[in-house]
Chains A and B, each alone.
Chain A
Amino acid sequence: MDAFLTSRIITDILEGLTNGMIYGLVALSLVLIWRSTGVLNFAQGAMAMFSTYLGMIIFAHDLSYWPLVAIAVFMGFALGGTTERVLVRHLYGKPEINPIVVMVGFLIVLEAVAAAIWSSTPRGIPNPFSPIDWQLQGKPIALSAFSVYEIVTALVVMTAVAVLFRFTKLGLQLRAAALAPEVSRLLGVRVSRMLTLGWILSTGVGTIAAVLVASNFFTGLNPQLMDSIFAFGFIAAAIGGLDSPVGAVVAGVILGIGLQFVGDFINSNAIILTALIILIVSLMVRPSGVFTRNTARRV
């Protein structure tokens, strides 16, 4: 059993799972914005990175890890809400390319500003979780206190989002505002507030992903923190279907594990190439996403 748990295959699965949970979180945050406001937020990773800086650097000398995490997530909420009100609100109903261009621009601005203020040198974020892999009878198993922390946090956030949307009055209003804005208003739903709330929630989820990545001893906090992770999260969301939160999470995990095998058995340079091939093939076969239900709508 121990030999099995430390085998190459299980090692790849565990490492891929840890990465995949992060891709899943980023994909989930993209789906939340897409479903509520129809905007493909290319600045999602950069906004999460920026909120993490705002939360983790300013009080870094005075506070311990958990309060810093809380401040970062709060900064994510604030940045998400402000961005929707100031930047995005005027773009609804415009051609789809407009918000994309604006958000790509915002991405570049945020990364440049972050580098100008805080420099591009990665900073370690001290945290209570050891990154050293555990051992079984002298052999390392691809799990550490830190990777368990990542997986558990991602699971908790995903569950919380699912519970919010499925079982609460607020979740019902968020979904209704996205699906049928006009009808929702006729029923008394404050749709405009729901759109802002969609961005607040989504940026919060993205920021939690960024905090996890930045807390990783081997990465550290830096302005390009989320670039490649955003790309994988985006691919996961596109494969899973931008309308499907469950699809985004599942696709993120599968992508993480699949790419780990590619890196281990083929070549680590083949990872991004494989991801793009998967994206292209899946978009050709199922343009609306693998997990999207094609519900026939009657008029």
Chain B
Amino acid sequence: MIDVDELSVSYGAVQALRGVSFQAETGKITAVLGANGAGKTTLLRTISGLKQPTSGTIHFDETPLTKTKPENIARLGVGHVPEGRGVISEFTVEENLRLGAMTAKVALAKGLAEQYELFPVLGERRKQHAAKLSGGERQMLAMSRALIAQPSVLLLDEPSLGLAPLVTAQLMHTIRDLCNSKSLTVILVEQNASSALRIADHAVILYLGRVVANDTAATVVADENLRQYYLGVVE
């Protein structure tokens, strides 16, 4: 479980998060939704240690994560797929995966075989440079690179960004399957609220750095006002 308590983060004079609290339960998908500038990316960057909070705490089960270096948080089993995917274009597909597998406890060959089974297209293109992949393939590679480390928590930052609706739907489906089969704890940051809510168990809505809703995904979907005011979902 990831327990975020009264978290505040600022960039100089700009406060990005103001007293954010929520819990992401083990084996569940928690969607973090909100418009541009709501503080979603900052939240993930603070959980994985890239940004230090001004106040508040984050715990992974019983372990405090604040003041821990990002590389050590990664080694604790927190995988972060950053916005824009962070695939290393100069590396081949396989080199990206080998880098991801560096901290894994299973043998490299086994890890690779598992990922190529999960994402066959990566197996077909394993010798190609990541720069040659399509947007969807890059997203798969970024996810796969995080998964090969066998994380227990997966932080996903806007995985649907720039993807066609059909590809997004497939991706969300994959995330749900992974969460179920490996009992992964997923924090899914999305601007595309409707596709995230389709697979999420829980939803947190951020608005200008504050939590304005923190409930089950079903409740959030049913709440007309939340959808209209904060998520821009109009039917």
Contacts and interface: CB of A to CB of B under 8 A. Distances in A.
B82 A186 contact: yes
Nearest to A166: B95
Interface stretch (A188-196, A198-206, A277-285): A188-196
A295 interface: yes
B98 interface: yes
A297 B89 contact: yes
A172 B98 contact: yes
Given A179-B90, A295-B89, A297-B89, A173 B99 contact: yes
Contacts of B60: none
Contact of A188 (B74, B84, B95): B74
A117 interface: no
Contacts of A191: 71
B22 interface: no
Interface centre among A172, A176, A187, A298 (most CB of B within 10 A): A187
A299 interface: yes
A182 interface: yes
A165 to B, nearest CB: 11
Interface string A153-196: 00000000000000001001101100110111111111100000
B135 to A, nearest CB: 9
Interface of A is mostly: helix
B57 interface: no
B91 interface: yes
Contact of A185 (B71, B145, B146): B71
Interface in B27-81: 48-50, 69-71, 74-75, 79-80
Contacts of B145: 187
A247 to B, nearest CB: 15
A185 B45 CA distance: 12
Contact of A186 (B74, B89, B131): B74
B103 A186 contact: no
A172 B48 contact: no
Contacts of B82: 182-183, 186
Interface string B116-157: 000000000000010100000000000001100100000000
A183 B149 CA distance: 14
A295 B131 contact: yes
B90 A295 contact: yes
A169 B98 CA distance: 8
A187 B149 contact: yes
Given A172-B95, A173-B102, A297-B131, A188 B71 contact: yes
B158 to A, nearest CB: 14
8 contacts: A172-B98, A172-B102, A179-B88, A185-B71, A186-B74, A188-B103, A295-B90, A299-B84
Interface of B: 48-50, 69-71, 74-75, 79-80, 82, 84, 86, 88-91, 95, 98-100, 102-103, 129, 131, 145-146, 149
